[in-house]
A and B are shown apart, each in its own frame.
Chain A
Amino acid sequence: MIAEGKIYFKYLRMHLLSGMEYKGWWLMLIQVLVVVISDPIATVLLFSRFGNIGEWTVAHIILVYALAVASFGLAESLCRGFDYFPWQMLRSGDFDRLLLRPRSLFVQVAASRFHLHRLVRPVTGICAVGWALSELGVSLTPGKLLILVLALAGGCIMYCGVFVLTSGLAFFTIKGLDWIYLLTNASYQITRCPEPYMPRALKSMFSFVLPMLFISFYPAAAVCGWNYPQWLGYLALPAGAAFLCFSLLVWCFGVRHYKSTGS
Chain B
Amino acid sequence: MNFRSTCKACISLFRIRMAEGLQYRVSAISGVFVSVFWGLLECVLFTVFYTYSDNGAWNNNGLALPQTISYVWLAQGLFVLQTMSIDSEIMGKINNGDVGVELCRPLNLYTHWFVKSSAGKLGTAWLRSLATILAGLLMPAGYALGAPASALGFACFLLSAGMAFVLCSSFAMFVTAIRLNITWGDGPTYMLLLFSGILSGTYLPLRLWPDFMQTFLYLQPFGGFADIPVQLYIGSLTPSAALPAIGLQFFWSIVFIAAGRTIMNHKLKNIIVQGG
Q: Say yes or no: is A15 at the interface (Cβ < 8 Å to chain B).
A: no
Q: In the complex, are the beta carbons of B203 and A41 less than 8 A apart?
A: yes
Q: In the complex, are the beta carbons of A45 and B185 less than 8 A apart?
A: no
What would 22 A/B residue contacts be, using CB atoms closer than 8 Å?
Answer: A24-B187, A31-B191, A34-B194, A42-B203, A45-B208, A46-B49, A46-B208, A49-B61, A50-B50, A50-B53, A50-B54, A51-B54, A53-B49, A177-B30, A178-B31, A179-B30, A182-B34, A186-B34, A186-B41, A189-B41, A193-B41, A197-B48
Q: Which residues of B contact A (CB under 8 A)?
A: 24, 26-27, 29-31, 33-34, 37-38, 41, 44-45, 48-50, 52-56, 61, 185, 187, 190-191, 194, 198, 203-204, 208-210
Q: List, in ascending order, chain B residues with CB within 8 A of A28's CB.
A: 187
B183 to A, closest residue via Cβ: A24
Q: In the complex, are the beta carbons of A192 and B190 less than 8 A apart?
A: no
Q: In the complex, are the beta carbons of B53 and A202 less than 8 A apart?
A: no
Q: List, in ascending order, chain A residues with CB within 8 A of B26's CB.
A: 175-176
Q: Say yes or no: is A143 at the interface (Cβ < 8 Å to chain B).
A: no
Q: List, in ascending order, chain A residues with CB within 8 A of B34's CB.
A: 178-179, 181-182, 186
Given contacts A34-B191, A182-B37, A186-B38, contact A41 B44 (CB under 8 A): no
Assembled-state Cα–Cα distance A182/B209 (Å): 26
A198 nearest CB across to chain B (Å)? 7
Q: How many residues of A contact B (CB 8 A)?
A: 35
**Interface secondary structure of A, over-half rule:** helix
Assembled-state Cα–Cα distance A53/B61 (Å): 16
Q: List, in ascending order, chain B residues with CB within 8 A of A193's CB.
A: 41, 44-45, 48
Proximity bits, A43-55, B CB within 8 Å = 1, else 0:
0011011111110
Of A27, A49, A190, most buried by chain B (CB within 10 Å of CB) is A49
Instruction: Give the residue of A45, A181, A182, A202 whose beta carbon is less than 8 angstroms from that of B204.
Output: A45
Q: In the complex, are the beta carbons of A192 and B45 less than 8 A apart?
A: yes
Q: List, in ascending order, chain B residues with CB within 8 A of A53's CB.
A: 48-49, 52-54
